[in-house]
């Protein structure tokens, strides 16, 4: 590489960092100007975020489309393995998620903790995104490094509608994470009555116990959650 080529590369990288800054500020006019000037569309800031990741995090659909048209890597990931699709999914931006998947974003990608876009969406309670990801082939029973599934994420956060969507798509209601906790135990621990009701109706084992020996009923009783305890007892839970 000669001196002239090095200078051109440095300028392109500098403009790429300006592009990230413009995306953070939501300045579409500046973004388009920088793209036209040859900015590095896949430039990265220190944690590995690219311009399209920044735009996706804020749900800026038009900007995301501009980046895609300019050649942005829709499967780029940061230093933690978080992808563009995960960022959009965690924010609940269904239109951005669809735009990314239309050009090949990997619905099965995982970050360094084994978390998928579906898990991110489920944790956030984003029903529309969850439906879109499932329709695109997302594995509803995929597990993260801790053994958590999307249903566990939804159950622990109290997202009943998401839990139902996952169950309807074949999520295992009796799956266990690394400490033996099930979606029902997690929902009971966190006091999410409607999720408990939904899981029981779907066939969750009301007498399952985690590795510590505690069941959903024990958790409900110890926390004074009478309605949940009643639901579990009526479903056959034993002390």
* Cβ atoms < 10 Å from Cβ of 142: 16
Residue 163 inside a domain? The answer is yes
Q: Read off the pLDDT of residues 154-198 as tens digits, 9 standing for 90 and up.
A: 999 999 999 999 999 999 999 999 999 999 999 999 999 999 999
Residue 50 domain flag:
no
For residue 176, tell me if it sits in a domain.
yes
Burial label for 75, CB within 10 Å (0-12, 13-18, 19+), is middle
User: What's the pLDDT score for residue 197?
Assistant: 98
Backbone angles phi, psi at 91, to 5 degrees: -90, -10
Segment 213-235 mean pLDDT: 96
Would you say the C-alpha torsion 175, 180, 184, 187 has a positive or negative sign?
Answer: negative
pLDDT-derived band at 239 (thresholds 50, 70, 90) equals confident
As beta bridge partners, residue 83 has: 77
d(CA 3, CA 140): 52
The answer to whether residue 33 is domain-embedded is: no
Percent share of the chain, pLDDT over 90: 92
Q: Provide long-range contacts, Cβ within 8 A and 24+ apart, for 104-108.
A: 104/74, 104/75, 105/74, 105/75, 106/75, 107/133, 107/136, 107/137, 107/138, 108/137, 108/138, 108/139, 108/142
Residue 79 lies in a domain: no
In a domain, 150, yes or no: yes
> Which CATH number does the domain housing residue 238 bear?
1.25.40.20
How many domains in the chain? 1
204 occurs within a structural domain: yes
Is residue 16 domain-resident? no
- Residue 224: give the domain boundaries: 143-239
pLDDT of 13 > 80? The answer is no
232: pLDDT strictly greater than 90: yes
Kindly report whether the global pTM for this prediction surpasses the value 0.75.
yes
- pLDDT of amino acid 18: 93
């Amino acid at each position: 590489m000669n001196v002239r080529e090095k200078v051109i590369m440095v300028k392109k990288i500098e403009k790429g960092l300006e592009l990230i800054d413009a995306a953070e500020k939501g300045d579409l006019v500046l973004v388009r100007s920088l793209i036209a000037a040859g900015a590095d569309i896949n430039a990265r800031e220190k944690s590995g975020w690219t311009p399209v990741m920044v735009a996706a995090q804020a749900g800026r659909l038009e900007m995301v489309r501009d980046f895609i048209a300019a050649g942005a890597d829709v499967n780029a990931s940061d230093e933690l393995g978080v992808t563009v699709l995960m960022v959009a999914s965690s924010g609940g931006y269904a239109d951005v998620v669809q735009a990314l998947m239309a050009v090949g974003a990997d619905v099965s990608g995982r970050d360094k903790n084994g978390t998928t876009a579906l898990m991110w969406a489920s944790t956030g309670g984003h029903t529309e995104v969850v439906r879109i990801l499932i329709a695109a082939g997302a594995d509803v029973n995929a597990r993260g490094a801790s053994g958590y599934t999307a249903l566990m994420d939804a159950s622990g956060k109290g997202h009943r509608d998401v839990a139902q969507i996952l169950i309807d798509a074949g999520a295992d209601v009796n799956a266990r994470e690394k400490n033996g906790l099930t979606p029902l135990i997690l929902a009971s621990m966190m006091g999410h009555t409607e999720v408990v009701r939904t899981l029981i109706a779907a066939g969750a084992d009301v007498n399952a116990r985690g590795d510590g020996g505690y069941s959903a009923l024990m958790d409900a009783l110890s926390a004074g959650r009478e309605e949940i305890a009643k639901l579990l007892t009526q479903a056959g839970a034993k002390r």
